[in-house]
Structure 1
Amino acid sequence: MTTHDVDAHTLASLVADATAAPSLHNAQPWSFRHLAAQGVLRLYADLSRALPRTDPDARGLHVGCGAALFNLRVAAAAAGRSPVVRLLPDPAEPTLLAEVALNGTEPPDQALAACCPAIPLRHSSRRPFSERPLSADLQDRLSEAARAEGAQLAFPGAWHVQELLELVQDAEGREALDPGLRAETARWVRTGPTESAGASDGIPAEALGPGRYGPATPVRDFTAGRPVPGRGWAVFEKNPHIALLGTGHDGPADWLRAGQALERVLLVATAGGLVTSMTSQTLEWPELRWITRDPASAMAHVQMVIRLGYGPEGHPSPRRAVNEVLDVV
């Protein structure tokens, strides 16, 4: 086999791992094209899966596609390859987000390959976590994971965490008053097991977690008041562990880097025994996004709010089949 060759089984495995990445509302806004003669796999934005009310500038779409790109790099390294990535390679084709040459000549990145076992284990957990503290060593490893992808991870202090919880409440109130936004969310959220049967995208009822008693938590309630049969209620942690992922600039390339950093952080967290969930509610309103910044850090633009801790694993969300997202030419 030459360095250009990728057999069909390996190609399907690489794309399957890529599509295990998280995305806004699990919309999975990506597609792939394999240029077999060049040994190149292209990543495209699938604008039919964009969320124009929730994500009008497509920042979240790029973050999700960046996470898929990171998984692809991890899977390629685990398969003994050294992928070479070009972000936004053609300004005339803005939906072409990245080109990945699978025939790089450098030795495979073993740190990337080591992340591969965590890919199928990572699921967003929207259940209560314990308040067991995170060790300084684990926080350092998570911060280093973000730095390795050109991003920054900050762990805000207790006072700022409480302010973030208030911002989540503010964002929830704004969403409740926006029928278009609520309708867009409802399109992607299943409220009953029978509805989710056979679904290949969106958030199934089983992955929503319980409703909450008490004050705000950094866990998005995707149901917006819609009833979910059999859904229970729970008290969530009073002092959640929160991390802010950010970048120095705020354009499409930065969003793609943030997505790669996000997935690297999530996989390192999963390998370290943590469960995670994410919220972008406060980032969907420009004035709230600015306040989300941790003034004690030098972070310029927050790209994701991550909740981490020890607790029950999340329920898997469905994924589209490889043949739905991959084109071979």
Structure 2
Amino acid sequence: MTTPLLDASAVTAFVKDATAAPSLLNAQPWTFRFRRDDGTLELYADPGRALPKTDPHGRGLHLGCGAALFNLRVAATAAGWRPDTRLLPDASDPTLLAETEFTPTSHPDEALALLHAAIERRHTSRYPFREDDIPADLMDALCAAADREGARLVFPDTWHVQSILHLVHDAEEDEARDPEVRGETERWTRTEPAGEPRPSDGIPAEAFGPRQSGASSPVRDFAAGRPVPGRDWARFEKRPHIALLGTESDQPLDWLRAGQALERVLLRATSGGLVASLVSQPLERPELRWAVRDPESEMGHVQMVIRLGYGPEGPATPRRPVADVLDIV
């Protein structure tokens, strides 16, 4: 019996969910191509949306595309399909990051399917969080989520969290002195008030969150001294909950796996009532990245620093229309 293939409406829905993933500066550095003849969906990196000053090696690009791939897997599983994915399937084309084939199944991965409702709810929150502790069982669940995707999540102790905060501020000072990095950030962040015409990418002003009074939280200030009408000041949590996501190796394959692990952690956190923001500032500086690693863990390379807690959900950031990122051939 011939295995049924996906139709265009189903793959469009899956890609719409995929593009809800986070990416560095919300550059959305992905494109998809669906081959009707064999039902295969390809994920490509979009070099035109790379960030050569902020992300010169493409690590952040791969993380974002990996997160989109995980959302795709979740969406397909929730719809009754089994997604079978091959990472970096063509050594001659480094922009082809993954191929996914879909098989209908009556026994989908329930753990994946249950995360589907969190895709639309997950937003980066750059607002103050409460000082409430995260329950140990939820922390264990987040660590297990990373492990399921071949990565590792650790919660460093208070001393190391403080050292990470210092590294974040060192990285921000370096960025402030680097006009090329600062210019790249400004090109992808929007200070215009809500309601004015804006692109369907980048970070809008309402997603910056308030200015930080003090320096207790690793939330990045995307305004970087530019005026943002109506933006307030606020005190952030004194003891931020920080998690480190990492891998043993540090190659494009590891970055894609880390991106999938990152999104699995974020969706599981959202399902558990947590909000999060991503902290990449010190990871963008090679001379600082090594120091972010928890010396008591066996993690080889930190791929992302995650701030977690209880607080207001961040606003949705714009996404490009599916028609702009999906080619059906």
Calculate the TM-score normalised by the size of structure 2.
Answer: 0.98
Separation (CA, whole Å) in 1 of partners of 2:293 and 2:27: 26
Match of 1:315 in 2: 315
Aligned position for 1:51: 51
Shift of 1:215: 1.8
Q: Residue in 2 aligned with 1:94? A: 94
Q: In 2, are the aligned partners of 1:125 and 1:312 still within 8 Å (CA)?
A: yes
What's the offset of the Cα at 1:274? Answer: 0.2
- Kindly state the Cα deviation for residue 3 of structure 1 after the two structures are TM-superposed: 3.6
Kindly provide the CA deviation profile for residues 214-246 of structure 1, in whole angstroms up to 9, marking residues without a partner as x: 124211111111111110000000110000000
Equivalent residue, structure 2, for 1:192: 192
Q: Deviations over 1:180-210 (max 9, x none)?
A: 0000000110012258634210001111100
Per mean C-alpha deviation after superposition, the further-off stretch among 127-136 and 197-206 is 197-206
For residues 120-145 of structure 1, what are the alpha-carbon distances to aligned partners after superposition, in whole Å with 9 as ceiling and x for unaligned? Answer: 00000000000100011000000000
Q: Could you tell me which residue of structure 2 aligns to residue 215 of structure 1? A: 215
Alpha-carbon distance in structure 1 between the residues aligned to 2:196 and 2:136: 40
Match of 1:228 in 2: 228
Find out whether 1:76 has 2:92 as its counterpart.
no
Which residue identity lines up with residue 242 of structure 1 in the other structure? Answer: I
Indicate if the aligned counterparts of 1:4 and 1:37 stay in contact, CA closer than 8 A.
no
Tell me the SS of whatever aligns to 1:299. Answer: coil
How many pairs align? 329
Q: Return 5+ residue gaps in structure 1 as ranges.
A: none
Q: Which runs of 5+ in 2 are unaligned?
A: none
* Equivalent position of 1:39 in the other structure: 39
Question: For the residues of structure 1 that align with 2:3 and 2:203, how far apart are their CA atoms?
Answer: 39
Residue aligning to 2:124? 124
Match of 2:170 in 1: 170
Question: Mean alpha-carbon deviation: is it higher for 269-278 or for 103-112?
Answer: 103-112
Distance 1:152 1:324 in 2: 34
Local SS of the residue matching 1:189: coil
Paired letter, 1:68:
A
- 1:279 maps to a residue whose letter is V
CA RMSD of aligned residues (A): 1.4
Contact 1:39–1:103 (CA under 8 A) maintained in structure 2: no
Shift of 1:47: 0.6
Q: Greater shift after overlay, 317-326 or 197-206?
A: 197-206
How far the C-alpha of 1:109 sits from its partner, in A, is: 1.1
- The more displaced of 7-16 and 245-254 is 7-16
Indicate the residue corresponding to 1:301 in structure 2. Answer: 301
- Alpha-carbon displacement from aligned partner over 1:279-326 (angstroms, at most 9, x marks no partner): 110100112100000011111100000000000000110000000000
1:285 maps to 285
Partners of 2:119 and 2:47 lie apart in 1 by 25
Match of 2:248 in 1: 248
The structural deviation recorded for 1:11 is 1.2
Identity of aligned residues (%): 64
TM-score by length of 1: 0.98
